[in-house]
Structure formats: structure tokens, C-alpha cells
Amino acid sequence: MRALLFLLLGCGSPKSETASTDTGSANANWDCDPIATSRCALPYPSTYFMKPDAATETGWRIAMGETTFPANIDGVQPSPMFMNEKDGFSPVTPVITHMMNATVDGLIGHDNLGAYLADDARTVIVNVETGERVAHFAEVDVTAEWDHERMLILHPVVPMRHGGRYAVGIRNIVDSSGTEIPASEGFTALRDGTESADPRIESRRSLYDETIFPALSAAGFPQSELQIAWDFVVGSQAGITGKSVHMRDDLYDRLGSDGPSYTITDVQEQPNATTGRRIRGRMTVPLYTDIDGPGALLNRDADGMPYAEGTTEVPFTVIVPTTAFDDPRPLPLIQYGHGLLGGQSEVENGYLSEFANAHGYIIFAVDWTGMKSEDSGPISLMLVQEIHKFAMIPERSQQGFIEFLAAMEMMTGPMLTEPTLMVADADGVSTSLIDPDRTYYYGNSQGAILGGGYIALSERIERATLGVGGSPYHLLLNRSADFDPFFLIFKTMYPDALDVQFILALNQTLWDAGESAGYLHAVNNTPLNGVGPKDVLLQVAIADAQVTTLGAHVMARSYGAALIEPPARDVYGLDTVASGHSGSALVEFDYGLFEPPENIPPDPDTDPHERPRRDEAGQLQMHTFFSTGVVEQYCEGPCGESGS
């Protein structure tokens, strides 16, 4: 994969100086917000780039201009068409702006999250209706080569309320000399009540005077202290998850009680000591995308909802453990989700077959359409040529959700009478090896990042283990060594780091529908129609160089998870409970490795990403959780090298 990506990169170009979008009153560009003059689309997200819409659940719709997005190095101007479908921004959207040469002095760090409530906090995100502050941390982008290109980024660490309106306030940010950075001319006019010749400023004065400034003042951020402030609206749950729910319900209607049709293509008897039978086949699933291949987008009807047109053939793999034949009985099912741009062949890994055999599970898998190996090249080309089509990643991944749902219907439906999954007793009576009433999900890495969305949609998944995962993708990407090749593409096409960070931040709202971020509330807080609340076990590794534990912390807080005593460390917002906890839990494995505080990955040469899944204590913990719903601590002390 890396070789293909580097062939796409070209030679690159020198870094550009930060350009101003403050065009003045004579030729004001209404596609740009003049309160943050270094980039058209800043600050982000903002109601400046929204319009009222009574037809949406939030009463708003994103309305970015045709020139709001930065053009790439080839002068290609991305279209906002997919963003402008949304009725609000991601509930875990990064909140970004640019303040020239800003430093981290005095900012809330992810290691002191409680400081978001402090009287002297320098940043605030506050719910305009309730006055509640949002827990977050703030940082400047250290991936930028030049100080003047460092974006100021606020990361919410709990999901904001669907449909909620939030105000952002920033004060007392200083440069490297300790000098407070001055407000822009446009924001100064709003803050100080002075007249502006810019009609864009005057058009928003009442909003600031009646909504934004009062909300921030009530939160302890007086108007006179602000360097910049703005507001935004979070998307509704239906606006984010509605297409997936619509496709899921349509899928179930089409499949009925018979489930999807399938064909067995290969059966291997005893391919290894712990696998009694390996079954491969293909099932037929409705196709909701415009093409059956990488780069696809969802079909849209007149109301913007997806519809099926034709079918697609989906390969699958089923692993039946040796114990199923040594001691025949119905076994519970585990559906497996594979890693980044990989495939279902991961289910054949030795540790999984050993786990299935030791504890008695049938494991099955399909590729994650949208984020499987064949998607890698087209994703890279899209980043180079058509960044405005970024929606193809989450939209094809939603087709992947449908295929995962169909696979579960297959395994709990027609596979109950599949001859290769039946055994005969001493009297010659055939019995299914599948227990359809015990169904679980286990995803690692990408399988966990996307898995949180899948389990929120599934009516059958009882409990889930998400290994070395996290959310949202925006938080993960800068801190992931896996992203380095794609980062090079971004930096080549957008030589200014401000543009890179804006594109990453923007795309989170698009990505929500196809990864866990858009479903953080839905897993067990406000479940989707037809789905009950789920318990989730999160097993992660401190200093993971591929998926930062900060993303797992967001998941854990969203799911109401607890730390199991003794934890590797405290995690803000999580209670520590005794072993034997019923409910969701976060277990961190500590191997004594360094985790950088900045938005860069840990050392990939010492990456512990693969280690928790192979840990015997962790595997036993997962088995106990699946079979009883209880999380036990099987490590001697905190889990990790010295404890498990």
C-alpha cells in the first residue's frame, strides 16, 4: 500500500505564507467568515456556514459557499455539496481556529481535563440553552513545520447533544513571547460594539449581542476578555444515522425470516489443530450504492434517502472450532471486524482460532466494504484529485454496515440448517452447531472504530468487545503512524498545514455516519429504533502508535464505562470499580511505553497495538464478559507486561 501512495505524491511545493481572507467592505466574500482572517472557513464549525431550514430536525442546515473550502495545489476547488446535506456538525467535531503563533501556555491538556471547569480556563465550549460547559482539551498543531501555520484545536472529550447549540469562547492565548494575541478587526468590532464597514460583520451583530456574548458571559467568559467567539449547531441523531437506519430497515424487510441467500464455495477440514472446519462462501445482499466497487456513493431518492438497486455478492468466512466436533453442542457466535484496509482473512489468525477452540465459539467475518484492501488505492486517488468526494468513504462503509447486518441474519437464519454447520448424534439425529440466541461482536483497530457504529445498528448483537479502537477519526488520525502515507498526500496537495487541519476537521462531520463517532449516544444512551442498549468492553494499549487511547477514552465516557480495579491509570470521567462489574468497561494495558502529549504518534518501533488481543488474561476477560456480561480482572495488578 505504501508504495502505491508514494507514487501518487509528486515532488511537493514550498510552504506558502498564511494568506488573508479579509477582503474589506468593497468586495466582501460572503463565503468567508471575517472574524478569523487567515482562512476563509475559520473559525469552524460555525453558524456562519449554516442557514435555517424548517424541514430538518435541528431547524438548520449546513450552507457552505462554493469557495469556502481551500483549493488544492492544482487549483481544484472542492464542492460543499455533501456537507450541505447535513443538519448540523458532528457531536465530537474538532473546534478550530487560527491565532497567529499561538502557544499551549495555559491551555487545558488531555492530562488535566477537569480544568475545563476552572474560572481561569482560556477556552470554553458551552451549551447555549443549558449553560453547561463541554469537557475538552486544547492544543496547537505540532505537525506544522512553521509556527504561523499551527491551528488551535479544541477536542470535545464527550459527545455534545444532538441538535444542541454551542458557543465557543477563547481568551488570554499568548504567543512565544508571552504577548496576548490581538483579536481580528472584524471580531473587535463585534466585541467592542464599534461600527464596521463590512456587511458580514453587521449582519451578525444581533446574534452576538443576543445569543453568543450572553451565553459566554454566563459561563464566566466576559465579552471584554474574548479574543474570538462564535457558535454552531450539532447534527440530529436522525440526520447522522438516518440513512443507515433506513437501509437497515429496508434490508430486514427484503430478507424477511429467510435471511440472505448464500452459496458455500469451499470447506476445509481441520486446517489446523484448533480449527475443525473452515467454511467459505458468498451471500447475496442488496446494493445501496451507485456502483458496486470502490469510490461508490449511496443512491439517493427524491428525499435524499438511499435505496437499493440490484445486489452484490459478499464473500464470508466461518471458523468452526475443533471442540465443536469433539464435544458437539450449539455454540455462541462471534462476528469479527478486521483492521485498517484489511480483510476477513484476519479471522484465520492463530490467536482467534485458539480462543474460539478454548472457549467454544463459532467466529465469522466479511470484509468491511468501504475500508477494505481494495478501497486503499481509490481513497488515495480521491485525496489527490477529488477531496470533495470524501463522502465515498463513510457512504461505502454504510454499505459495509448493511453487509455485516446481513451476515448476522445469515448466521442466525439459514445457516441453522446448513449441512456443514450441523453434526449428527449417536442416534443419527442432526443438530445445528449454532446457538442463535448468543451473538457477540469483536472488532480490533478499524474493526473497533467502525464497530461502535455497527453494534448501535444491530438488533442481534448482545455485547461487544472493541479492541484497540477509539473515536472520532479526527482525533485518531494525527496521532496514528498508519496515517503517515495519507498525511504526505494531504501535505502535497495542501502545502499549508492550516488547510490540512481544516480538511481533517471538516471531514469528521461526513465521517460520522460511517464510524463510531456518529453513534456514540446510540450505543446505550439513546438507542436507535428497534435496538436495545449494549454493554461494551474496551481493551486498549497505552502508547498505541496506530490508535490513540484518547479515542478509547471518548468511547468509554460516551458508553458510561468504568475502570476495573486496579486500573493502569486514572481516566477523567470514569469511576473505578471492583472486579466483577456488570456493564461497560475500559481496560488499559500498560507496557511501560511513552505516549506523547502532542498530536503525533508514539514510536511505531515499540507499538503495542497487537498485544492486548493476544494476552491470555485479556482473552479470558473477553470470554467471561461475552458469556456472563461481567467484567473480571484476571491480571495480577494493572494489565500489561508486568501485570498479566
- Among 444, 459, 479, residue at a domain's last position: 444
- 262 and 205 share one domain: no
Mean pLDDT, range 362-385, rounded to an integer: 95
- 405 and 380 share one domain: yes
- 360 and 390 share one domain: yes
Q: How far apart are CA 430 and CA 419, in angstroms?
A: 9
Mean pLDDT, range 244-250, rounded to an integer: 98
Distance of CA 241 to the CA centre of its chain: 13
Give the pLDDT of residue 11. 34
In a domain, 215, yes or no: yes
In a domain, 632, yes or no: no
Give the pLDDT of residue 643. 45
In a domain, 284, yes or no: yes
- 151 and 264 share one domain: no
Mean pLDDT, range 257-261, rounded to an integer: 96
Asked if residue 4 has pLDDT above 70, the reply is: no
**Mean pLDDT for the chain overall:** 94
Tens digits of per-residue pLDDT, 434-448? 999 999 999 999 999
Tens digits of per-residue pLDDT, 558-615? 999 999 999 999 999 999 999 999 999 999 999 999 999 999 999 999 999 999 999 9
In a domain, 185, yes or no: yes
pLDDT band at residue 200 under the 50/70/90 scheme: very high
In a domain, 101, yes or no: yes
pLDDT band at residue 1 under the 50/70/90 scheme: very low
Give the pLDDT of residue 510. 98
Q: What's the domain range around 120? A: 19-235
Closest CA to 557 of 578, 541, 572: 572
- 271 and 368 share one domain: yes
The secondary structure of 290-346 as a DSSP string is SSSSTT--B---TTS-----SEEEEEEEEEEETHHHHS---EEEEEEE--TTB-GGG
pLDDT band at residue 637 under the 50/70/90 scheme: very high
Give the pLDDT of residue 104. 97
Q: How far apart are CA 162 and CA 437, in angstroms?
A: 33
In a domain, 497, yes or no: no
pLDDT band at residue 96 under the 50/70/90 scheme: very high
Residue type, 157: V
Give the pLDDT of residue 428. 80
Which residue bears the cell 465530537?
Answer: 92
Asked if residue 8 has pLDDT above 90, the reply is: no
Mean pLDDT, range 319-327, rounded to an integer: 97
Give the pLDDT of residue 641. 74
Q: E strands along 445-499, which residues?
A: 463-467
Mean pLDDT, range 531-552, rounded to an integer: 98
Phi/psi-derived region of residue 16, left when phi > 0, alpha when psi is between -120 and 50, beta in every other case:
beta
Asked if residue 3 has pLDDT above 90, the reply is: no
Give the pLDDT of residue 642. 52
Cβ burial, residue 470 (10 Å; 0-12/13-18/19+): buried
- 160 and 242 share one domain: no
Give the pLDDT of residue 429. 84
- 279 and 415 share one domain: yes
Phi/psi-derived region of residue 310, left when phi > 0, alpha when psi is between -120 and 50, beta in every other case:
left
pLDDT band at residue 2 under the 50/70/90 scheme: very low
Mean pLDDT, range 329-338, rounded to an integer: 97
Give the pLDDT of residue 503. 95
HEC letters along 391-409: CHHHHHHHHHHHHHHHHHH
> 521 Cβ partners below 8 Å, 6+ apart?
91, 159, 162, 237, 558
pLDDT band at residue 424 under the 50/70/90 scheme: confident
Asked if residue 26 has pLDDT above 60, the reply is: no
- 215 and 275 share one domain: no
In a domain, 617, yes or no: no
Asked if residue 15 has pLDDT above 80, the reply is: no
Residue 278: beta bridge partners? 268, 319
CATH number (domain holding residue 103): 2.60.40.1220
Give the pLDDT of residue 137. 98
**Total domain count for the chain?**
2
- 361 and 280 share one domain: yes
- 299 and 422 share one domain: yes
Closest CA to 134 of 126, 145, 142, 146: 126
Share of the chain above pLDDT 70, in %: 95
And the C-alpha cell for 57?
Answer: 430536525
- Among 391, 425, 444, residue at a domain's last position: 444
- Among 444, 475, 507, residue at a domain's last position: 444
Asked if residue 304 has pLDDT above 60, the reply is: yes
- 228 and 245 share one domain: no
Residue 50: beta bridge partners? 62
Closest CA to 275 of 360, 354, 168: 354
Provide the sign of the torsion angle of the four alpha carbons 315, 486, 382, 237, taken in this order: positive
CA distances to 259, 297, 314 from 291, rounded to whole Å, are 23, 7, 14
In a domain, 623, yes or no: no
SS3 call for 233:
strand
Tens digits of per-residue pLDDT, 496-528? 999 999 999 999 999 999 999 999 999 999 999
Which residue bears the cell 452484490?
Answer: 312
Share of the chain above pLDDT 90, in %: 93
- 201 and 251 share one domain: no
